[in-house]
Amino acid sequence: MHVDDAIRERRSIRAFKSDPVPRALLEDLLEIASRAPSGTNVQPWHVHVVMDAARDRLVDRVMAHREAHRAGGAPDASSEYPRATKRKEPYVRRMRTLGKEMYGLLGIPKGDQEASWRQWGRNYEFFSAPVGLIFTIDKDLEYNSWLDIGIMLQTVMLAAKARGLDTCAQGAWNNFWTITKDELNIPDTEYIVCGMSLGYAKEDEPVNTLISEREPLSNFVTFHDG
């Protein structure tokens, strides 16, 4: 697959088949993704791959903790590291446009809190994907290393697409991080950056037809040529 085709065809998949992904294919994918660039070759990423029984244990524990949090009996529903609490335009518009399109495809009307809660919970089931990836980074690394791990994430997603696999990057795994760290033995010296679902898309699911809009070049590119 040409790299341009992988970029165009990659999209966030929110419904996966249960078909297993061979360990050898995962190793090949992550090995090529390790060629992602990083400043001074720091390579700040660490990837926790969960599959089979390990995946199920993580999902069960986080989902149980999530329900306990909802009932008021468990803490840490928010990110371990600081995140923006308010957004301004044009970012709010873009976010709301995506949400409206996605929930429309899911058949969840605005204001249906129970259905929205269940759909949010699908994040912690990796949208039924057979493989989950949890990306972590050392807490003492500088902001540039967070850019590097973003490049690594994109490289994983494009390499997966080139191999016939699909993905969904998931910021939701910033939440309930105490349970994830405990289950995967992630040291307290690392942040959980995000998660990623990986597997084969259910092509007949309406939510998987969503292709998020992109701004025209005139909205984000400034040429300095005079």
DSSP 203: T
Residue 111 domain-assigned?
no
Residue 193 domain-assigned?
yes
pLDDT above 90 covers what percent of the chain?
88
User: Is pLDDT above 80 for 159?
Assistant: yes
Instruction: Give percent helix, percent strand, percent coil of the chain, each to the nearest 5.
Output: 50, 15, 35
Residue 159 domain-assigned?
yes
Reported as half-sphere exposure (CB side, CA atoms, 13 A), residue 177 has a value of 22
Residue 118 domain-assigned?
no
Q: State how far the Cα of 106 lies from the Cα of 207, in Å rounded to an integer.
A: 6
Give the pLDDT confidence of 14-65 residue by residue, as tens digits: 999 999 999 999 999 999 999 999 999 999 999 999 999 999 999 999 999 9
Helices 52-70, 177-184: inter-axial angle, 10-degree rounding = 150
Q: What angle do CA 148, 152, 155 make, to 5 degrees?
A: 140
- Residues with Cβ within 8 Å of 3's Cβ and at least 6 positions away in sequence, in order, are 158, 162
Q: Which of 181, 151, 143 is nearest to 58 (CA)?
A: 181
What pLDDT sits at residue 75?
Answer: 63
Give the pLDDT confidence of 98-107 residue by residue, as tens digits: 999 999 999 9
Residue 225 domain-assigned?
no
Domain with residue 131: its CATH number is 3.40.109.10
Pairing assessment for the beta strands 190-199 and 45-51 based on DSSP bridges: unpaired
Residue 218 domain-assigned?
no
Q: State how far the Cα of 226 lies from the Cα of 217, in Å rounded to an integer.
A: 19
Q: Across the chain, what does the average pLDDT equal?
A: 94
Mean pLDDT of 3-19: 95
Tokens at 88, concatenated: 């301004």
Q: State how far the Cα of 41 lies from the Cα of 118, in Å rounded to an integer.
A: 41
Residue 41 corresponds to which amino acid?
N
Residue 43 domain-assigned?
yes
The count of structural domains within the chain is 1
Q: Which of 7-11, 69-73, 124-128 shows the lowest per-residue confidence on average (mean pLDDT)?
A: 69-73
Instruction: Give me the domain span that covers residue 41.
Output: 3-80+126-204
CB-based contact 11:210 (threshold 8 Å): yes
Find the radius of gyration of the CA atoms of the chain. Answer: 18
The pLDDT confidence band at residue 198, using thresholds 50, 70 and 90, is very high
Mean pLDDT of 173-202: 95
* Burial (CB count <10 Å: 0-12, 13-18, 19+), residue 104: middle
Residue 172 domain-assigned?
yes
Mean pLDDT of 170-178: 92
Q: State how far the Cα of 151 lies from the Cα of 167, in Å rounded to an integer.
A: 15
CB-based contact 196:150 (threshold 8 Å): no
What pLDDT sits at residue 128?
Answer: 97
